[in-house]
Structure 1
Amino acid sequence: MFKPSLLPLAITAVLAASALHAEDADKKPTQLEAVTVTGSNIKTTDTEGPSPVQVISADQIKVSGKTTLPDVLRSISANTGNSVNEQLTGSFSAGTAGISLRGLGQKNTLVLVDGKRVANYATAYELQDTFVDLNALPLAAVERVEVLKDGASAVYGSDAIAGVVNIILKQNYQGAEAGVSIGGSTEGTGQTSNNFHLLLGHGDVKKDGYNVFFALDGTRGSQLNQDDVSWLRNNDFRDKPGGRLNWVPTNYYNNDPNQGFANAVGPVRRVPYGAITPGKSGDTWAYNPAPYTSLIPGVERYHAVLRATVKLTDTIDAYGEAIYSRSHAAFVFSAPLAIGSGLRAWDNANQKLVNIDTALPAGNPANPYGVPTPVNTNLWDVGQRNKRDRTIFTRFLGGVKGHIGGWDWDVSAEHSESSLKEYVTNFGNRYAFQSLLASGGYDFAANGNPAAATDALRLATTRPAVSRLTAVNATASTQLFDLPAGTVGFAAGYEFRNESINSRTSEAVLSGSELRPAIDIIRGSRDVHAGYAEFNVPILSTLEVGIAGRLDHYSDFGNAFAPKFSLRYQPLDWLLLRGSYSRGFRAPSLPEITHSTAVSYSTVVDPYDPITPGQRRGYTDVFAANPKLRPERSENYNAGFVISPGVDTSVGIDYYHIVQHGIIGPDDDATLVLRKDPRVQRDAQGRITIITNQYKNQQSLTTDGVDIDFHQALHTSRYGDFILNGNLTRLLKYSQPLVAGDAPINGAGTNIFGSLPKWRGTTGLTWSLGDFASTLTWYYVGGYKQNPENRLSAAYPESVKNWSTFDLSVAYTGIAHTTLTLAIQNLQNRRPPWDPSHTYYDITQADPRGRYAYVGVNYTF
């Protein structure tokens, strides 16, 4: 178990190990080439700048055993919370993966490819957050990833409040390489995955005047459902603190689960009602939702990259790049459609939901009473509801760069798209339902209904969406003049981009045909013009000051200005002190500020529910955009130091403090329920049915914490080479009000604002000896306290335990041109920690796969 108190000992051990290295007095220093580092457009030879940047190289990715880009990026310690991967299947952005630096959400982390933006995913996460889907980006073509861990709005503009992830592809690759791997669960779940990649490159830009590079990779993974996992299969967690039987009552009359059907209909059993809802008595028909719950979708993804660079003159290069990816994600969306009070359809003419009467008419074959009778059941004969998402991502980039008259410059244009088609089957047809309900042509209390009636109820739809980005970028940098302490560096740039989203719904929803529709209609576009400049001023030979500023003009809300000031002080060769202050902004997303309508389904604890008070109740959320929104503003403070006694040893500690003002979001539904807000609509029984909301600039948020990075290499002639790398993040504060005007609450180490563990870390030890190289990586996710709102009984646990797992990879290179690899993830087969506020565990912090093994072969030509 990780103990924070051991951290000083770990750092001391890293520093002490450097004493084992003998310095080579005759070794001449290497002349370093100036390069551009993420966070600045001014070239430098400094390996550590005024802002902390974590670099993940292609070699590190290979030895990690990770086979997808999201798995690589989401494991870094700065990804502290509030991001999801494809485990979130009940979402408009199902099958995607994002990254959330500092726990500020995917919308506040800017993802770049080769220093330039790409299109966001075609729809929004949680109805309002636009983000780059990491699953759309290639892994095989990656040269390195640079993660800037402080705000960079002064250089990159909106979305960079929490930091920047810059994915840099191979630029001058020569040769050929091919590889395949197969993997599977060792725990009998039946889940498997297959991966391949191909790299081809020809020509050296400096020697031959050109380079052409092509990369192709693909992955196919099988679907994992909840009933595939032994310890989740029964959905019975009564042996856990605060656990219960997570089954769903169904097949009953008069809104009373004790008034069940006479016979079993569908895959149901009679179970104690109190096991599902504490405090209740009697028995009820209920079903286990595990067979209808996909934990991980079945996926098939392909990525292709084609890049060419041609030297036009000795000082000017032209380049072009095309990225194409295609992804399919298939999963079970839910059990057969539930029939009962609160069933609705969409009235497009009046832009509202309408209630559908589900009471059984007198004389209906399922009605044992002589009067119209409310019923709760499922369309069992129609079958489970399924979804399949097909996403196509493209990016076409062309540009010219060079060096003329002391200036380095780069001019480029690009167009990028993310398009989605979501196919659903076995949804419910409203008009067929109303007709069959009135005629009695479908018996809700019987199995084996006529095929004609069942087919009429089935509804298959397609939901299309597309997000587009068109941009022009121009940057230039130079050394302006000399000061006594050195040369003043300068960079400036201009950016134009057009962003648009057209996320539609199906014709079945618009016509009112689909029962219980979920809607995320977004249609809008905007133009953005930006100019920015930065200076690097040497005050002393050991002290540099950075000054940067950016002015953006958005066509939908106006202007935003972002300045940044930084210091880099290196009083000794082995000691670097650094700090920065910046102001940033996040522009309202298109779903938040343009024409949009969103209807989704959620649950809330309702103390006023007349039937199950204090228990979770499902309801419909209706959200509206707000054209009067202002951008979110932020202030970022960073301070830290790096100690590096030698090239093989370094320890860095950086403190960050971020304040956001005017955060855009809806009011907290749970608080609206407690305060009996009029936006909470109830039915004739007094049960919640709809909560309406609108996005507003609301409360502020403050978060701070500490990053700890260490590196130690030890080279021996007899025992091989050892490399230790570690990244730890300690979250100190994450504070904001639940509702605007309330006192802020610190959610660090809790799940009040999503699960935000105080500690998160990744530590890897690589050992190379002869033809063998192995890496053991330790992933640690700290525990967290439960939101008091979730604690429904005295037995409910106050906190969730930590999750500590190890990955192991071993590579053998003893065969010419060939590398054989064995990788095992979750070596100890650790289960995620028990969290009763979810179905056993929180998908943002853990996954259910258990031990997973890969074998692979890679061949270079």
Structure 2
Amino acid sequence: MACIAGNTTKITSTTHKRSLTMIKERRLPHALHMMFSGSVAIGMSLLAQPLQAQEDNQEEEAPQQMQRVEITGSSIKRLVAEGALPVTIIKADDFVKLGSTTAAEVLSNVSGNQTNYTTTANVGAGRTVGAAADLRGLGPDKTLVLLNGRRLANAAFDGSAVNLNVIPVAALDRVEILRDGASAIYGTDAIGGVINFITKRSYTGLNLSAEGIAPQQSGGAEKRFNLSGGFGDLDKDRYNFFGVIDYHSQNAVKASDRSFAAPGGQNPGLGLNAGSGNTYPANYYDINADQSGNPYSASGCRPPYAFAQDGVCRYNSQAVIGIVPKTEEIAVIGKGTFKLDADNTASVEYLHAQSKVKTYIAGDVFAGDGSGGSSDYVINPNSPYYPGNGITPGSVSGGPLSLNWRSVDAGQRVGESKNSSDRLLFSLDGTLAGWDYKTGLSYAMSKASEALVGGYLNSNMVREGFLNGILNPFGPQSAAGIDYLKQAQMSGVYLDAKTQVTSLDFTASRELFQLPAGPLGFALGGEFRKEQASFNVNHALSDLVESTGSQDSKSASGSRSVKALFTELNVPIVKSLEAQLALRYDGYSDVGSTVNPKVALRFQPAKEIMFRSSYSTGFRAPSLYELNNPNANTYTAAPYNDPMLCPGGNVAPGGIPARDCKQQFFKMQGGNKNLQPEKSNSFTLGMVIEPHPNITASVDYWNIKIKDQISVIPESEIFADPVKYADKFVRNPDGSLSHIIDTNVNLGNVHTSGFDLGFAWRLPKTAWGNFGVSLDGTYVSQYDYQTEAGGEYLNNLAAYSGGGVIFRWRHAATFNWSRGPWSVALQQVHTTGYRDQNGSQVAEGYRNHQVGSYTRYNASGSYSGFKNLTLTAGIKNLFNTDPPASNVTDNFQYGYDARYGDAIGRAFFVRANYQFF
């Protein structure tokens, strides 16, 4: 990729074959005249630079040797040129100016990234990836994430995707995004595209930066510090060492801190009427009288979080959670590069990154089963808190009462997820006997754990506390009860996992010979990879805390070896037409082998216009996590009605309202050893035009079909069609619902298509400075999927379905101005609206709700007039736009969809960067 300013060309290489080189630019031949590699990069440095050299009134320099480089999407090094594949490049300087503090935030402004896998979405969810990329909305497992062109270990708790929280943002030079299937080049999981995070090649000096972000509303404050330094000149000293230490943290945000989240499940404006039957005060089931009730239902329960409904109380648990978790991240990366001779270098690189995510949800729950047995939560007539004994009002049969209780006096449940990633890489690259080569040996490891920090109680002690009369299920605890709850507090790690990848790779490329239209480029490579994964359950802890759902889980492990061989040709057919041909073989020790081809064409009939097209197949083997993850119970994200004992919200014979109606039930999640691989076909067709030297526009059509997609059936669909999914309901001996089965399955097919659009215009220089505008947009024309092989296709485009939504249109538009040491950037990020979930917890008259479009503006200004110091200040979400209202209940945050909306609101940031030498 080249960015030309004035009469110099800056050439960067994703393989880092040589240090960044500045060379004089000569008039390029027509075949090299187009300067972008697909969609226009959304970084502002792109706007501040011409799209091609300003050649008028320039004297042509003597020809100089131009360096061949490798761009993401091809293994063949060649002169910098417009490629046959759509590649977006984002410079690190640009996303730093706008206050982006995480890799996930950087990618959120990429129109083709339809992600809903963010750190915020971890609230109330365990064993997640943390944050992940999701090109085309196909899922994180079909977007390949690389660091410097090579793999990282996938997240240990979701072993099919890389956790973006471990990407060292402060060490990045740029991000290259290939919006095309690339299984033939990179391997089987590059179906939706490839995101290559590229760190600085080398560095000399010492640099310190500090940043603070202060939201206008309570909570969510951020801070970031990073120190980078290096010494040694590759050309003079023949070595360079550099390293980066980066620290970032963000405070939590409570639901009560934001007006759109504060109502929780009681939101009349959205018709949302949701609450948990595990409540404070406790609901009871009178075993002798066969009826449910609550001593305080007639008096309105205990507001503000408990409310009366149908003779029992329900708890508005979503009003007391943290809607944004507390996060802390640290990354350390070090690299040593040694120049062996003029053409060859060796390097060693080590990365360590770790993140901690602390989530806050409502107090622990204890759900009685109505049996009165040893597994039930029961209060007997001899308890001082039994209704009618003088403390708790009411009159019941005088027999044992089965309880559905939520602990309030013990405080919120606080959980902590820890993720870490390490990678050690030894590599060689250079030129040998006329071949450009690169080879590397790497070891990568990802570890994760889930821990109980506070608010989780020993379930057996709670049972005993009710039976012996110490605990009050209907009101505030006595001093003895408070002491008892303190003794019952449980903490520690109850789940942990680890994935390991050892890899040896080799690629060599060269021009074989000259054809009439140009040189024939050839590449050949191979890879051997050993993958291992283990998942461990600490039963000494999890068995005592039923709300972890891990009592029946079993530790598991798996391993596989992968062998790959690939080749690529770049064939100039005529001067204006060339083809890229690639073929890759992957052999998996556990699921078989596959061969995937790719064909791409590039046609440039004139220097102002270029056409490109590609076709490829893909194959994704189920990850070790998807195969071996221990099955465990967790609560459904939303409350539902038992379709047998409470159909349509009406209690049936044998039903108990507090147990069977509007309740969060258990669902069993985990791996499935019978999963089949996914297969795909991808097609792209696009064009790039440059009607004026300062204007570039592009449009690319893409069409992707996936067979046998691996995922889980959305819980809402299981409850919505109990006949179709009858085998997913597991019942207790008394007929009550034990749990639903929602483990990984092959759902069926996916078919999606759409258009990527890019535009950039750099205005001519003026006395008032330099101006530029750009647009990066994606229009999705189709997204259909099946929930079972051969089933009907369901629409997910602009309509909430299957646990998420695919937006019809997303774009990021940027305006940039600079003059001398001053620069200003203004960014607009826009997403169109969609039809809401409109689920069973929404009143009938509100089930046609449309979620509105969402537009945010970010602005910043920088000044670099001080010696060695650059100052930046800005505002994120300039107009303090709330996320659009949504009645979604599939995630823990209610009133808006936390996977797509920004709960922080307007935030002010300042950043200082000082270079010591």
Deviations 1:632-688 (A, max 9, x none): 000000110011234532111001100001112344544444243133134578654
Structure 2 residue 83 is the aligned partner of structure 1 residue 49: yes
Cα distance, 1:473 vs. partner? 1.0
Q: Distance in 1 between matches of 2:178 and 2:53?
A: 31
SS of the counterpart of 2:209?
strand
Change over 3 Å in CA distance of 1:94–1:662 after alignment to 2: closer
Cα distance, 1:293 vs. partner? 1.1
Name the structure 1 match of 2:871: 820
Task: Identify the match of residue 285 of structure 2 among 244, 249, 254.
Answer: 254
Opposite residue 763 of structure 2, the aligned amino acid is L
Q: Distance in 2 between matches of 1:766 and 1:515?
A: 55
Q: Distance in 2 between matches of 1:566 and 1:287?
A: 58
Cα distance, 1:846 vs. partner? 0.9
1:171-186 equivalences in 2 (<5 Å): 171-186=201-216
Change over 3 Å in CA distance of 1:333–1:503 after alignment to 2: farther
The question of whether the paired residues in 2 share the 8 Å contact of 1:410 and 1:476 is answered with yes
Structure 2 residue 711 is the aligned partner of structure 1 residue 665: yes
The question of whether the paired residues in 2 share the 8 Å contact of 1:598 and 1:624 is answered with yes
Cα distance, 1:784 vs. partner? 0.8
Q: Please, which moves more after superposition, 114-123 or 719-728?
A: 719-728
Structure 2 residue 699 is the aligned partner of structure 1 residue 641: no
Identity %: 29
The question of whether the paired residues in 2 share the 8 Å contact of 1:413 and 1:471 is answered with yes
The question of whether the paired residues in 2 share the 8 Å contact of 1:252 and 1:261 is answered with no
Opposite residue 178 of structure 2, the aligned amino acid is L
Opposite residue 361 of structure 1, the aligned amino acid is N
Name the structure 1 match of 2:729: 680
Opposite residue 855 of structure 1, the aligned amino acid is V
Name the structure 1 match of 2:589: 555
Change over 3 Å in CA distance of 1:469–1:22 after alignment to 2: closer
Cα distance, 1:20 vs. partner? 14
Name the structure 1 match of 2:392: none
Change over 3 Å in CA distance of 1:774–1:837 after alignment to 2: same
Name the structure 2 match of 1:156: 186
How does the TM-score come out when normalised to structure 2? 0.85
Change over 3 Å in CA distance of 1:20–1:591 after alignment to 2: closer
The question of whether the paired residues in 2 share the 8 Å contact of 1:427 and 1:515 is answered with no
Q: Distance in 2 between matches of 1:262 and 1:118?
A: 54
Change over 3 Å in CA distance of 1:393–1:123 after alignment to 2: same
Q: Tell me the C-alpha RMSD between the 2 structures.
A: 3.0
Change over 3 Å in CA distance of 1:592–1:423 after alignment to 2: closer
Name the structure 1 match of 2:444: 416
SS of the counterpart of 2:631?
strand
Q: Distance in 1 between matches of 2:540 and 2:764?
A: 66
Name the structure 1 match of 2:317: 289
Task: Identify the match of residue 157 of structure 2 among 98, 120, 123.
Answer: 123
Name the structure 2 match of 1:4: none
Cα distance, 1:428 vs. partner? 2.5
Higher strand content, 1 or 2: 1
Cα distance, 1:23 vs. partner? 5.7
Change over 3 Å in CA distance of 1:270–1:316 after alignment to 2: closer
Deviations 1:449-501 (A, max 9, x none): 42452234222131322221111111111111111111110111111111222
SS of the counterpart of 1:591?
helix
Q: Distance in 2 between matches of 1:626 and 1:244?
A: 35
Task: Identify the match of residue 325 of structure 1 among 343, 349, 353.
Answer: 353
1:143-222 equivalences in 2 (<5 Å): 143-187=173-217, 189-222=218-251
Task: Identify the match of residue 529 of structure 2 among 497, 513, 533.
Answer: 497
Deviations 1:313-370 (A, max 9, x none): 22221101111123222221432334433999xxxxxxxxx99212333433333341
Q: Distance in 1 between matches of 2:612 and 2:299?
A: 69
Opposite residue 99 of structure 1, the aligned amino acid is A
Task: Identify the match of residue 327 of structure 2 among 271, 274, 299.
Answer: 299
Change over 3 Å in CA distance of 1:647–1:218 after alignment to 2: farther
Name the structure 1 match of 2:908: 853
Cα distance, 1:258 vs. partner? 5.1
Name the structure 2 match of 1:348: none
Opposite residue 337 of structure 2, the aligned amino acid is T
The question of whether the paired residues in 1 share the 8 Å contact of 2:533 and 2:557 is answered with yes
Q: Please, which moves more after superposition, 355-364 or 193-202?
A: 355-364
Change over 3 Å in CA distance of 1:270–1:696 after alignment to 2: closer
Change over 3 Å in CA distance of 1:529–1:94 after alignment to 2: closer
Q: Distance in 1 between matches of 2:664 and 2:879?
A: 37
Change over 3 Å in CA distance of 1:81–1:298 after alignment to 2: closer
Task: Identify the match of residue 786 of structure 1 among 815, 836, 839.
Answer: 836
Cα distance, 1:139 vs. partner? 1.0
Q: Distance in 1 between matches of 2:199 and 2:670?
A: 39
Name the structure 2 match of 1:803: 854
Name the structure 2 match of 1:315: 343
Name the structure 2 match of 1:844: 899
Q: Please, which moves more after superposition, 252-261 or 66-75?
A: 252-261
Q: Distance in 2 between matches of 1:820 and 1:157?
A: 42
Task: Identify the match of residue 571 of structure 1 among 590, 593, 605.
Answer: 605
Cα distance, 1:205 vs. partner? 1.9
Cα distance, 1:582 vs. partner? 0.2
Deviations 1:19-57 (A, max 9, x none): 999861535388643210011110122442111000001
1:133-144 equivalences in 2 (<5 Å): 133-144=163-174
1:364-763 equivalences in 2 (<5 Å): 364-368=383-387, 369=396, 370-424=398-452, 425-449=454-478, 450=480, 451-462=482-493, 463-508=495-540, 512-519=543-550, 522-594=556-628, 596-602=630-636, 603=638, 605-606=640-641, 608=643, 610-611=645-646, 613-614=648-649, 616-623=662-669, 625-673=671-719, 674-676=721-723, 677-682=726-731, 688-753=737-802, 754-763=804-813
> Structure 2: 5+ residue runs without aligned partners?
1-45, 388-395, 650-660
Q: Distance in 1 between matches of 2:582 and 2:754?
A: 24
The question of whether the paired residues in 1 share the 8 Å contact of 2:799 and 2:806 is answered with yes
Opposite residue 207 of structure 1, the aligned amino acid is K
Name the structure 1 match of 2:819: 769
Name the structure 2 match of 1:6: none
Change over 3 Å in CA distance of 1:331–1:604 after alignment to 2: closer
The question of whether the paired residues in 2 share the 8 Å contact of 1:522 and 1:591 is answered with no
Name the structure 2 match of 1:224: 253
Q: Distance in 1 between matches of 2:249 and 2:797?
A: 37
Cα distance, 1:418 vs. partner? 1.6
Change over 3 Å in CA distance of 1:806–1:218 after alignment to 2: same
SS of the counterpart of 2:705?
strand
The question of whether the paired residues in 2 share the 8 Å contact of 1:343 and 1:515 is answered with no
Q: Distance in 2 between matches of 1:185 and 1:167?
A: 28
> Structure 1: 5+ residue runs without aligned partners?
1-13, 275-279, 345-353
Change over 3 Å in CA distance of 1:787–1:770 after alignment to 2: same
Deviations 1:778-799 (A, max 9, x none): 0011101134655651223431
Q: Distance in 2 between matches of 1:532 and 1:171?
A: 27
Q: Distance in 2 between matches of 1:591 and 1:343?
A: 36
Q: Please, which moves more after superposition, 246-255 or 189-198?
A: 246-255
Cα distance, 1:67 vs. partner? 2.1
SS of the counterpart of 2:184?
helix
Opposite residue 771 of structure 2, the aligned amino acid is F
Opposite residue 146 of structure 1, the aligned amino acid is E
Q: Distance in 2 between matches of 1:665 and 1:531?
A: 29
SS of the counterpart of 2:122?
coil
Cα distance, 1:800 vs. partner? 0.7
SS of the counterpart of 1:389?
strand
